[in-house]
Structure 1
Amino acid sequence: MANRYAVILAAGQGTRMKSKLYKVLHPVLGRPMVQHVIEQLNSFKLDKMITIVGHGAEKVSEHIGDNSQMVLQEEQLGTGHAVLQAEDLLKNQDGTTIVVCGDTPLITGETYQALFDHHEQEDAKATVLTAKAPNPAGYGRVIRNDRNEVERIVEHKDAEGSEIQVDEINTGTYCFDNKALFEALHLVSNNNAQGEYYLPDVIGILQSRDAKVSAFHTSDFEETVGINDRVALAQAEKTMKRRINETHMRNGVTLIDPDNTYIDPDVVIEPDVLIHPGSIIKGKTTIRKDAEIGPHTEIDHCVVGEASRIRQSVAKDSHIGDQVQIGPYAHIRPEASIGNEVKVGNFVEVKKSSLGDRSKVPHLSYIGDADVGSHVNIGCGTITVNYDGKNKYLTTIEDDAFVGCNSNLIAPVTVGKGSYVAAGSTITNDVPEDSLSIARARQANKDGYASRIKNQNKY
């Protein structure tokens, strides 16, 4: 197989996005669009990948990292000029170079692979990826001859007569014989209204030399669409969401309402998971079999164990065990570790804490910077008081302890194994194992005092 290279065009600012964020960094399902392009190209073996950066080069390079070599296009003089910036890395190399735009995140690795294969099987010097557009206005038309070969590409503004009616369009993605590409690029002129060097002009130059130019048609126009504004960005998000959701459903996941379920590309969901509407699942999250998520739940970079249930809640950067019940309206903050068969109820917040197997925090509590053992019951309104204004401290609650309602545990403090904390207590010292700790003022009743206050208030 011939050597294969890729050049990604990512130098444009994207003024129609009307944003301080550079166009190719706008996210589609939580991932910059240029990253989608790189990952799809990485789904098969390439000998070299080069990304042409310009506006926001430092930020774009920061996101791309080591996934691609970067070349700076200091002055944006058109797509042909952009590709020419890769010449020092690719000139004199035998093989095939694919040129793609960094704002086309929906093209799949399968389509790129098929384009490569078609180009090499046809022994063409250039191959254009084409599609049938429902509304081809604004696109270059692919004009074929009687033998169904590509005769020329006509830009929309130059199309005349029957050419206007052609609905097969140039998507802006190409495969080239590498040497032929860079030879032709030196012949491209900027004699046009924009004064720029256009990559499609390479096609005409090759045809004038009787080089074979081919076309590979994809039946999915939607995947080839470039993103130039926020409307197209939203459409791309919708398309990718549908694609991802359909994949999960075919793999045995039940989505009650796919149109209102948002799942990032890196999420792993095992069969027989049930996801209710309004759920947002992001990052490198894994959800084990038989779990139930939602409705209206956000999970970001978590592991959710088998048969666990999370309702109307938020969880981030945490590990949740098997057969756990969370919510409604719970908040699992980063670095929480929730054991098996744990209950975290309504309006409970857990942060940087571990909850051992079969422990319960049923409602209205804050558990922060705490190490909670197994079989612990934490009553309503309990707070682990972890912050003194400068530093955070650890609360330890050992196995089988019982903490009564409206208790404050002032860290650093330990509640020993099997101990009880009486409701309404403020605990400032360690509670020994198998003890009862009461830390509240003694109740005093003053008979008739209420009547005296009421009489005083009459005047």
Structure 2
Amino acid sequence: MAAPLAIVLAAGKSTRMKSALPKVVHPLFGRPMVEYVFDAARAAGVERLVVVVGHRADEVQAILAHHKDVEFALQTEQKGTGHAVKMCLPALQTHQGPVLILSGDTPLLKVDSLKKLLAAQGAGAAAVIGTAKTQANEGLGRIVRSPEGEFLRIVEERDATPAEKRIQEINTGCYAFDGQKLASALERLQPTNAQGEYYLTDAPALLKADRELVIAADCFDIEEAMGVNTRVQLAEVAQVIKDRTDRQLMAEGVTIVDPRLVSIDPQAKIAADVVIEPFVVIRGAVEIGPDSHIGPHAVLEGPLILPGGSIVKPFQHLPSR
């Protein structure tokens, strides 16, 4: 069977960010946020990425053109998530294997969660809906199950009964499909809703009506499903990435004197027994060898390699080289 293909939805505008720059290419630590989605998908085994572009498509394609495993599908009209994925039908027709569907504005996705989603699909499901549990479920699609725990349907909040609104298991918007069965469902999608849109959530329902196995897998935490729609949310996501980076470095033997007062790029590679003083800024692909000391207020910009035992003085600026 072919390696997984990933469809990444990236056609949206930056309306709530009050920006002309397309949302998915807003920078996080100097990289377009959608690249974090690429990283997670690749690490989960994906070898081919199809990015659905729409708003300022030429600009998004130019920014992402250096990714050799990325191809683009153009959505000229915004007619819903199902319509966006339908633009990928030519790619699906040449793919025999699993398909991940991910949102380009969810840079906190974890590799292990995507692997669990793919494993659930690989066990024989035509479609797997990735879910998470949260009490803060307002505005999110709820997962309705039978008393025995079997997946029944996804219900959007505007259509939910009072009892369904209390459900804490929600749809993350991450899916794994059998590629050919997904193509069959996409060809049958109809805009039979008040918005006149094609809903991707109708695809699992169609497959379930075909008596195919459709399951909902609780394999994500709610943090991963955090989409970026505003600059406040962009800052919140950046803080999560920073905290993950700092904790990982300290677990590997790096001393960060005060994590609240440094900014370390997640691309940085820092060896054990390096000491990083407050107010240090490390940008890009910086490598620091063991037993080095980075003094307060220093700025290091990658690509840059510092050998072991390096001493960077306070307020020193080391540009890329």
For Structure 1 versus Structure 2, the TM-score category normalised by the shorter chain is: over 0.9
Residue 88 (structure 1) aligned to one of 87, 90, 96:
90
Match of 2:285 in 1: 284
Task: Give the match for residue 23 of structure 1.
Answer: 23
Task: Show CA shifts across 1:17-54 (max 9, x none).
Answer: 11111100011222111111112212243343211111
Cα displacement string for residues 144-187 of structure 1 (whole angstroms, at most 9, x for unaligned residues)? 11221211110011111211111111000100111111111122
1:213 Cα deviation from its structure 2 partner: 1.1
Give the TM-score taking structure 1 as reference length: 0.67
Find the counterpart in structure 1 of residue 318 from structure 2: 315
Q: Which has the higher contact order (CA 8 A, sep 6+)?
A: 2
Q: Which residue identity is paired with 1:315?
A: L
User: Within 5 A, what are the aligned runs for 1:111-130?
Assistant: 111-121=113-123, 123-130=124-131
| 2:55 aligned residue | 55
Cα distance in 1 for partners of 2:148, 2:194 equals 33
Give the secondary structure class of the aligned counterpart of 2:79.
coil
Secondary structure of the residue aligned to 2:85 is: helix
3-state DSSP class of the match of 1:6? strand
Deviation at 1:262, TM superposition (A): 1.6
Report if aligned partners of 2:4, 2:47 keep a CA contact under 8 Å in 1. yes
Amino acid at match of 1:203: P
Aligned to 1:404: none
1:13 and 1:23 in contact (8 A); partners too: yes
Write the distance in 2 (CA, Å) between the matches of 1:294 and 1:159.
56
Could you state the TM-score of these two structures normalised by the residue count of structure 2?
0.94
Contact 1:248-1:269 at 8 Å conserved across structures: yes
Gaps of 5+ in 2: none
Is the CA contact (8 Å cut-off) linking 1:29 and 1:240 kept in structure 2?
no
SS at match of 1:223: coil
- Determine the C-alpha separation between the residues in 2 that align with 1:161 and 1:224: 24
Structure 2 match to 1:103 = 105
The 8 Å contact of residues 130 and 220 in structure 2, kept in 1 or not, is answered as no
Q: 1:429 maps to what in 2?
A: none
Check whether the contact 1:24–1:34 (CA below 8 A) recurs between aligned residues: yes
More helix by share: 2
Moved >6 Å (runs of 4+)? none
Shift of residue 253 of structure 1? 0.4
Partner of 1:137: 138
| Residue 14 (structure 1) shift | 2.5
Who wins on radius of gyration, i.e. which is larger? 1
Q: In 1, distance between residues paired with 2:233 and 2:185?
A: 33
Contact 1:92 1:179 in 2 (8 A): no
- Is contact 1:126-1:177 (8 Å) kept? yes
Contact preservation (8 Å) 1:266, 1:283: yes
Residues in 2 aligned to 1:108 and 1:312: alpha-carbon distance in whole angstroms: 35
Residues 143/12 of structure 1: CA separation in 2 closer, same or farther (3 Å cut): same
User: d(CA) in 1 for partners of 2:31 and 2:135?
Assistant: 28
1:259 to partner: Cα distance: 2.5
1:130-169 equivalences under 5 Å are: 130-169=131-170
Shift of 1:2: 5.2
Distance 1:262 1:217 in 2: 33
Q: CA deviation at 1:10?
A: 0.6
Give, in whole Å, the separation in 2 of the partners of 1:199 and 1:221: 20
Rounded to whole Å, the distance in 1 between the matches of 2:47 and 2:231 is: 34
2:8 partner SS: strand
The question of 1:10 aligning with 2:10 is answered yes
Match of 1:385? none
Contact 1:98 1:176 in 2 (8 A): yes
Counterpart in the other structure of 1:188: 189
Deviations 1:28-83 (A, max 9, x none): 22211111111221224334321111112122112222230111112221111111
Corresponding position of 2:272: 271
Task: Tell me what 2:75 maps to.
Answer: 73
Task: Give the root-mean-square deviation of aligned CA atoms.
Answer: 1.5
- One-letter identity of the residue aligned with 1:187: R
Written as runs of structure 1 = structure 2, the 5 A alignment for 1:228-267 is 228-267=229-268
Give 3-state SS (helix, strand or coil) of 2:188's partner.
coil
2:144 partner amino acid: I
List runs of 5+ in structure 1 lacking aligned partners.
319-459
Shift, 1:252, TM fit = 0.6
Partner of 2:174: 173
Query: 1:75 and 1:136 mapped to 2: Cα distance?
Result: 29
Cα pair 1:38 1:67 within 8 Å, conserved: no
Distance 2:293 2:120 in 1: 44
